[in-house]
Structure 1
Amino acid sequence: MREQTDRRVVAPLPSLPAGASRRARLIAALDTGVQRAVTLICAGPGWGKTASAATWAAERAAGWLTLDARHNDPDHFQADLDLALHDEPGVLILDDLQAITDQRVLGILAGLVHRRSERLRFVLISRRRPDLALHRLRISGDLTEIGSADLGFQLDEAAELLQTRGRTMSRHDLAEVVRRTEGWPAGLRLILDTPDPAAADEIVEEYLIREVLPGLDDRAREFLMRTSIPNRICGHLADALTGDHDGHRMLEHLVQRNLFVERCGDDRWFRYHPLFRSALRRRLARRRPAEPARLHRATAAWHVKNGSVLTAITHAAESGDWDMTARYAVRRGLPLFTSADRPQFVEALRRIPLERLSDSAELAVCGAVLVYAHGDHAAMPRAVATAEALLAGRDEAARTEVGAALAVLRATSVVRWRGDMNHLVETSTATLNDLARRTFDELPALTQYRAMMLNCKGAGLLWTGRLDHADRYLWAATSSARTADVPLFEINSLALLAQLAFVQGALRESERHADAADQVARRLDVQYRMAMGPAYLARALVESERGRDAEAEEQLRGALHAIGERPEVAQSVLAGLVRVRLLTDRGETAAAGAVLSRIAAEIGPPVSAPLLNRLLALADAEIRLMLGDSGVVLARYRARAGLLPAEQLCLARAYQATGNQAAAETLLGRVRAGSDRVSAVGAWILTALAADAQGRSSVASEALARALAIAEPERIRRPFRTYDAQRVLVLAERRQWLTELRGPAGGGGTVLAEITGEIPVLPGVPAAGPLSEREVDVLQYLPTVLTAAEIAANLGISVNTVKAHMRSIYRKYGVGRRREAVIAARQAGLI
């Protein structure tokens, strides 16, 4: 090959468009390409094939031959080819290769190409793939291919093009132009050169129609116009729109000709360039104004038959057939409202004129969905009732189909939102029983409705306090929602399981369920949809129980973002309880009480959620105990049967505060033996404190050890701070003396270390003076849980003598606390 510094061009180059830009990326691509035998630049009209090659050729040694119909004569072709090769260029560029259809000429060219001369490289420019058996070159690595994806303008290149035209535009607006044109150079230039958007669209349309359609026969033109209605097209859908039977073959043919048609997804589906599709649609609407609506209806019918419900509803709305839109929305679309496709579904329904929303039960259902989407929950009962009234007198099929949709809508957006959990259990049970009698022919959304109702019943059972039943239904809802592809209900079911686990005192299980909900939500990018709110609240409660108030606050903020300004009552109450708990833990009991009173006032009498009421009462009981008002707690719980472990714990604390240790111990024994691990930790702590108050040090130490053992796997921290933190600290320090040292302070991350602020190694401890014999005797008792009086009793000396020896030991080791003296003595090897 010639050196690239040789700038001679053997044949005249085509003139470049005014304002054409030099794109370094394409220059580099051609520099790389001509190192191989053949470079094929293949794309439809307006992609800048010739301009890119000519810009490159102006800087490199190349021969150029533009082909046309005359070159289908072998003699004419050979003569012009010889002329182009006269000065033996290193590269020969053959433009408009699609003009060559004569097999003899193609044979001459194929022979020349496949000789792979080391002295000659070819750049072939064509609108469609040439019939030259280039696959062999592709396999051998001797072919470079540059297509429309490579030729399209990128944003930075578009900015340079804009600059050459002396125009200014925000980067956001320019990016939108690049997105609309998909980088198509001709469209980009036309739009940038025409400031008026409406005029630009007309100019682009004219260009496309002039450049693409004239080369096609009437049947292909008609095919393009009819199939431009959907955003994606496949052979079967094309057949439904055209009435023919070779849609797939026609689409393949258009792809081969690079006529702004390309494959998308699997081999079945194709798409038109958006500007080309828009041009075809406008042309069809001008020529046959009624045709687009008919084709939209046909597209909707095809998609609903083939399971693409959202696409069907969208095309039905595009057609302006509101009865069809509502029929599809009710028959198959209601689950879309609870999916990641909710915005597109609601947008389609918003196209229905307001005055039409009371024309039929189906349209009224659409109206109710729009009311809910708008956040007007107070208007939902009336909207649902309107649809139910319009359904009266309809045939059985309509009552079955529309009635099921209304039952689901009422349960999810009226009963549940109000917090009427007893009614929610009743209505969801009735709906599930009705669904069990239906077939898929009667209710195409049967599996989705079942998953939604299982979720509702699980929620109702949870907040009515039937926890074991709630667990079963929520698990069933999780698996059903996954199978039915209603992911927001899968997320919500997992999130409610997280709340259920927390109520049962299982923090790790609660955390696992919340994490599982989060994984599904992140996969769909719906982390802050209402369905995810309960998971954030469960995490907030877990973090609070672990003593991580900052993290609990963060999760509460996430929950408030997810549940929105008008959440369902149950989650609103729970969010308030998280706030009460955080205020209580900070010692702000007055503020906590005020928040609690406001929650009770806001939920109002329609709420029927026994477990929520018990949680509110429990929060109030904790505040009362902190304020020393044990009488209210005793009055509330003493005569009540079936207390939750946390309620039993509150009652035990009230008994302890009033001196009834026997009654307290009975309750604590039940809680200690129960499965609620958070309450069990509290029960063991209260047991330890009671034993310590009675002077039973070993019992107190063992009880605290049991509390620590339960707390450690779950990382439970809050009870150690809630129940007389100072006395718990003393007990914990004593307990730690019996425990092997565990590394640097806090390094082990144990509950015990966090309570005591463990300092296992004391740096710079001075060498102790010799201890007296009696001081050594006292030293041996320091790692135990015995008090100074108990040590004195064991040694047969007075308690004051023991305390004097302890002070002497501290002074000799240069420490101030018993625990530090034990550490120093161990470092010295004395104990």
Structure 2
Amino acid sequence: MGDSVVRGRAVPALGARPSGPRLPSTLLWRGRLAERLDQGVRQPVTLICAGPGWGKTALAGSWAAARAASGPIAWLSCEPRHNHPYALWSDLVLALRTSGAVPPGHTLPETGPLPSEDEAEYAGRVAAAVATLPTPVVLVLDDLHQVTDERTLTGLAALVARPGHRLRFVLITRSEPGLPLHRERAAGELTEIRSADLAFRAAETAELSAQFGRRLPADRLAELLRRTEGWPAGLRLAMEAPDGVSPAAAAEDYLLREVLAALPAHRQLFLLRTSVSDRICAGLADALTGQQHSQQVLEELAAANLFVERIGSGRWFRYHPLFRAALRHRVTVSKPGEVPRLHLLAAQWHNGQGDGLTALRHASAAGDWGLVGRLVVDHGLTLVASADHAELFEVLRRIPPGRLADSPELLLCSALLRYAHGDLAAIPEQLARARSLLQTYAPGYRGRVELAVAVLESGTVTRRRGDMPGVIESTTALLAELTRLDAEHVPSLLPYRAMVLNNKGSALFWTGRLDHADRYLWAAASAARVTGTPLVEINALSHLALLVHRQGSPAEAAGHAVSAIDAARRIDALSHPAVAPAHLAQAFIELDRGADTDAEATLRQVLRSLGEHPETVMAGLAAVLRARLLIDRGEPTAARAVLAKASAEAGPGQRAPLLDRSFDLAAAEIDLALGEPAAVVKRYAAGPLAPAEQVCLARGHLALGDFHAAEQLLALAREGSDRVSVVAAWVLTALAADAHSRSGRAADALGHALAAAEADRIRRPFRRLDPERVLVLAGRQQWLNEPRGPVGDGVLAEITGEIPVLSGLPTADPLSEREVDVLQYLPTVLTAGEIAESLGISVNTVKAHMRSIYRKLGAGRRREAVVQARQAGLL
């Protein structure tokens, strides 16, 4: 029967019609689809194929009514009796005759074929007669799915295959017709309109709402469209339903009567049992139904357009959400005890496939909290580090609070919930209680739970309180243990390794062991990318950004920060704590580049990412950034207060030497800003110094008039790989030379500073280190050098808005023959000692050549020198 829907009733078909079926008074004209039909009838065949309620008959009927004056249209609504050839052909030729296309006395047969007549020959007679009609005619065969008899379809196929120029077909069916249309499809002579085309668009939904006198706001319309997926009958039923009735409830009766009830009992049972899953495949369906051959069943249901469709080209299928909701409600009402059992079967199947999150959802729906706990042991930490972390916590929140202390596994769930809520102080107690209860477990399984507890403890309790040596100790032990295990017994073995590598790499960074940290963080990022734990990859890349910035390469650090932030954006995690180090690195880079306003905005993003209960070392480094911004703003006293507050909040468990040195460096800058250089000299009286510390101490000596001590420190900083410190050292050298009336040396030093600042766009040293005298030096140099471009270009113009760009250093000297020899070894993994042995020279000579190479190529470290050399064609 036709499938146009009026007030929830299906309009019955009435056989052969001259113009089409009766149409509902509330029918919505769908112009875009009518145009498709207009284009389609210019070709031999148009196929409208979709399930019940998609408005197939209503579309074709309204189009036929509107087009009636343009030419004859014959309409035949097929019924089961049309499986007999005589009945089909008799009504088909009757429909053609009553369309007005057949003149009196025409050769078109008046009845169907005789019992002795071959249907193919009869179809040939009909085709030959139609070819002589004075005007073309469109033949609409509605409900063609009712015709399944092979003999009848063979005859009809013969007519469809040779329609000539006078006959066009519009075939309307719920399922794929039993006609060979592949030739027409291959030749481009078949127009197809399916459910995706028939689905209502937003504008059509709004128009339908207005037609029903229900002018819904845009958000309500969008939600209705999302839940119905544009299914016309579902939209109409929802419009007709009283306020407060959901689209699913409004459509349930129609779907159960029109779709489910029309199927055999075993197909109904299949759909009911498999409806507990949001998507279904043959293996899962076999597990839920206890049957075999589910693939065939799913494909048949999809081919029949019974609200079952394949997802992409893979093995998965999905049910229309309203159909799935109707099926679930039916099975819940009719067999309530069956639902938990089905969810358990689904959980077990998904767990066997390694899909921990879906297994957890089904275990939760079944109310089997013990299984939920066991699944969290195997998959929980991996999911915490995945793009699905929010969904995991949603599942864990369903656990009744009174059950969270029932077992070690559920205590692990409790610890994860505390982590999600930022209640880090409560986690140690949860993990300690879990360890206590584990003593009664069998050793094999107990080890799996203990491993999950240890990984969580290392990454949350120890790391978040800032005990970085403790993190290194625990992660070293964990990595050793992980090498002795296999993935068969520990499903999350590889994700655990990525997490532990990242925790160790970040801890090595905070203890100042940057070279070791670099290797572990790269390994963590690579492992995380493979194991589907993007938050681990993001955090590793974020710490690499901080690490490289600490080494003094803002541009390279910015690349890592952008990679981390882009990865976070892809999984909607821009405000997750994992990406906070990248935001922080970005803020420090902006500060180096003199973009204080941008740095302050980025700092706000850092604080949003860190949340209310931040990792202590991250909170401390954010305070350092805040202090440096205040120093640049001329508020050193306020900066000192920020550092004091952060130190007080750190807690006694924090052990992070690199952060301590960052605090000291910021405090030294405050001392200098407050006119207390002696405090700086005292602060750095002992111990090896990093380039930034050398520059700060040199400033202290300069302020005290000890130019010799300052120059020794500045010489070291100028030869270092920290580019920010290199720029600062050259600026201070220029200022010191100028103070001693050595104008040539001052100009040369300023030129070096400008050249070193260009690649990384370093600006802060020019603005912080006696900027008025820097302007004087630049103005003096303007008279000595040809400007590189018009006023406003270059480093100083960007910094001050006043100084024209000065020429940079002369073209670098070419490499010597021996330097070229050393350069060839730089892309290798050989150390300076090994290079010296290969060349037969001393290690010191190799190091001297390497420093010269770096200087001539404008590189800060070995890797950059290799890149520059390749670009210059030297390698």
1:316 alignment partner in structure 2? 363
User: Which of 48, 55, 59 is residue 48 of structure 1 equivalent to?
Assistant: 55
| C-alpha spacing 1:738/1:395, structure 2 compared with 1 (3 Å) | farther
- Contact 2:49–2:172 (CA under 8 A) maintained in structure 1: yes
1:13 alignment partner in structure 2? 20
State the 1:535 CA deviation.
0.7
User: Which of 615, 623, 633 is residue 680 of structure 2 equivalent to?
Assistant: 633
Instruction: Measure, in 2, the Cα distance between the counterparts of 1:10 and 1:120.
Output: 17
| CA deviation profile, 1:620-654 (whole Å, cap 9, x unmatched) | 1111112210121122111x212222112222211
Establish whether residue 39 from structure 1 lines up as the match of residue 84 from structure 2. Answer: no
State the 1:669 CA deviation.
1.9
Establish whether residue 699 from structure 1 lines up as the match of residue 745 from structure 2. Answer: yes
Report the 3-state secondary structure (helix = DSSP H, G, I; strand = E; otherwise coil) of the residue aligned with 2:166.
coil
2:240 alignment partner in structure 1? 193
2:539 alignment partner in structure 1? 492
2:183 alignment partner in structure 1? 136
2:644 alignment partner in structure 1? 597
1:662 alignment partner in structure 2? 708
State the 1:733 CA deviation.
2.4
Establish whether residue 758 from structure 1 lines up as the match of residue 769 from structure 2. Answer: no
Instruction: Measure, in 2, the Cα distance between the counterparts of 1:10 and 1:370.
Output: 66
Instruction: Measure, in 2, the Cα distance between the counterparts of 1:247 and 1:315.
Output: 20
1:783 alignment partner in structure 2? none
User: Which of 102, 109, 120 is residue 167 of structure 2 equivalent to?
Assistant: 120
Aligned residues: 751
Establish whether residue 722 from structure 1 lines up as the match of residue 768 from structure 2. Answer: yes
User: Which of 671, 678, 687 is residue 724 of structure 2 equivalent to?
Assistant: 678
- Contact 1:346–1:373 (CA under 8 A) maintained in structure 2: yes
User: Which of 405, 415, 423 is residue 358 of structure 1 equivalent to?
Assistant: 405
Letter in 1 for 2:216: M
| C-alpha spacing 1:752/1:187, structure 2 compared with 1 (3 Å) | closer
Instruction: Measure, in 1, the Cα distance between the counterparts of 2:487 and 2:64.
Output: 65
1:690 alignment partner in structure 2? 736
Instruction: Measure, in 1, the Cα distance between the counterparts of 2:31 and 2:747.
Output: 78
User: Which of 242, 259, 263 is residue 216 of structure 1 equivalent to?
Assistant: 263
Instruction: Measure, in 1, the Cα distance between the counterparts of 2:186 and 2:283.
Output: 34
Using structure 1 for the length normalisation, give the TM-score: 0.88
Instruction: Measure, in 2, the Cα distance between the counterparts of 1:215 and 1:390.
Output: 55
Establish whether residue 273 from structure 1 lines up as the match of residue 320 from structure 2. Answer: yes
| CA deviation profile, 1:274-321 (whole Å, cap 9, x unmatched) | 111111122222222221111111111111111211111111111111
Establish whether residue 230 from structure 1 lines up as the match of residue 277 from structure 2. Answer: yes
| CA deviation profile, 1:344-368 (whole Å, cap 9, x unmatched) | 1111111111111100000110111
1:59 alignment partner in structure 2? 66
1:710 alignment partner in structure 2? 756
Instruction: Measure, in 1, the Cα distance between the counterparts of 2:575 and 2:227.
Output: 30
The CA RMSD measured in Å over matched residues stands at 1.9
Establish whether residue 615 from structure 1 lines up as the match of residue 662 from structure 2. Answer: yes
Establish whether residue 99 from structure 1 lines up as the match of residue 106 from structure 2. Answer: no
Letter in 2 for 1:506: S
State the 1:398 CA deviation.
2.7
- Contact 1:736–1:752 (CA under 8 A) maintained in structure 2: no
| CA deviation profile, 1:175-212 (whole Å, cap 9, x unmatched) | 21211111111121112111254586445222111111
Report the 3-state secondary structure (helix = DSSP H, G, I; strand = E; otherwise coil) of the residue aligned with 1:392.
helix
Trace 1:295-306 onto structure 2 (pairs within 5 A): 295-306=342-353
State the 1:262 CA deviation.
0.5
User: Which of 23, 35, 47 is residue 30 of structure 2 equivalent to?
Assistant: 23
- Contact 1:508–1:714 (CA under 8 A) maintained in structure 2: yes
Letter in 1 for 2:157: A
| C-alpha spacing 1:54/1:546, structure 2 compared with 1 (3 Å) | same
User: Which of 574, 584, 596 is residue 549 of structure 1 equivalent to?
Assistant: 596
Trace 1:283-432 onto structure 2 (pairs within 5 A): 283-432=330-479
| C-alpha spacing 1:161/1:140, structure 2 compared with 1 (3 Å) | same
Trace 1:770-785 onto structure 2 (pairs within 5 A): none
Which of 277-286 and 529-538 deviates more? 277-286
1:740 alignment partner in structure 2? 786
1:809 alignment partner in structure 2? none
Letter in 2 for 1:406: V
2:698 alignment partner in structure 1? 652
State the 1:528 CA deviation.
2.3
| C-alpha spacing 1:714/1:124, structure 2 compared with 1 (3 Å) | same
- Contact 2:796–2:804 (CA under 8 A) maintained in structure 1: no
Letter in 2 for 1:715: R
1:779 alignment partner in structure 2? none
1:81 alignment partner in structure 2? 92
Report the 3-state secondary structure (helix = DSSP H, G, I; strand = E; otherwise coil) of the residue aligned with 2:75.
strand
Letter in 2 for 1:55: S
Report the 3-state secondary structure (helix = DSSP H, G, I; strand = E; otherwise coil) of the residue aligned with 1:41.
strand
State the 1:701 CA deviation.
2.0
| C-alpha spacing 1:582/1:15, structure 2 compared with 1 (3 Å) | same
Using structure 2 for the length normalisation, give the TM-score: 0.83
| C-alpha spacing 1:586/1:199, structure 2 compared with 1 (3 Å) | closer
State the 1:98 CA deviation.
0.9
Instruction: Measure, in 2, the Cα distance between the counterparts of 1:65 and 1:650.
Output: 93
Instruction: Measure, in 2, the Cα distance between the counterparts of 1:58 and 1:669.
Output: 92
Letter in 2 for 1:78: W
- Contact 1:708–1:752 (CA under 8 A) maintained in structure 2: no
Which of 597-606 and 335-344 deviates more? 597-606
Report the 3-state secondary structure (helix = DSSP H, G, I; strand = E; otherwise coil) of the residue aligned with 2:141.
strand
Report the 3-state secondary structure (helix = DSSP H, G, I; strand = E; otherwise coil) of the residue aligned with 1:46.
coil
Instruction: Measure, in 1, the Cα distance between the counterparts of 2:797 and 2:729.
Output: 17
Gaps of 5+ in 1: 1-8, 762-831
1:468 alignment partner in structure 2? 515
Instruction: Measure, in 2, the Cα distance between the counterparts of 1:695 and 1:514.
Output: 43
Instruction: Measure, in 1, the Cα distance between the counterparts of 2:805 and 2:704.
Output: 39
Instruction: Measure, in 2, the Cα distance between the counterparts of 1:759 and 1:235.
Output: 72
| CA deviation profile, 1:221-263 (whole Å, cap 9, x unmatched) | 1111111111111111111212222010111111111111110
Instruction: Measure, in 2, the Cα distance between the counterparts of 1:656 and 1:742.
Output: 32
Which of 39-48 and 192-201 deviates more? 192-201
Report the 3-state secondary structure (helix = DSSP H, G, I; strand = E; otherwise coil) of the residue aligned with 2:47.
strand
Report the 3-state secondary structure (helix = DSSP H, G, I; strand = E; otherwise coil) of the residue aligned with 1:248.
helix
State the 1:396 CA deviation.
1.4
Report the 3-state secondary structure (helix = DSSP H, G, I; strand = E; otherwise coil) of the residue aligned with 1:59.
helix
State the 1:374 CA deviation.
1.5
Gaps of 5+ in 2: 1-15, 102-135, 807-875
Instruction: Measure, in 2, the Cα distance between the counterparts of 1:590 and 1:472.
Output: 39
Trace 1:140-219 onto structure 2 (pairs within 5 A): 140-198=187-245, 201-219=248-266
Letter in 2 for 1:119: R
Report the 3-state secondary structure (helix = DSSP H, G, I; strand = E; otherwise coil) of the residue aligned with 2:54.
coil
| CA deviation profile, 1:111-145 (whole Å, cap 9, x unmatched) | 22222332221111111111110111111111111
Instruction: Measure, in 1, the Cα distance between the counterparts of 2:501 and 2:392.
Output: 23
State the 1:486 CA deviation.
0.8
State the 1:753 CA deviation.
6.8
2:620 alignment partner in structure 1? 573
- Contact 1:711–1:751 (CA under 8 A) maintained in structure 2: no
Instruction: Measure, in 2, the Cα distance between the counterparts of 1:430 and 1:738.
Output: 63
Instruction: Measure, in 1, the Cα distance between the counterparts of 2:683 and 2:202.
Output: 69
Report the 3-state secondary structure (helix = DSSP H, G, I; strand = E; otherwise coil) of the residue aligned with 2:165.
coil
Letter in 2 for 1:58: A
- Contact 2:796–2:805 (CA under 8 A) maintained in structure 1: no
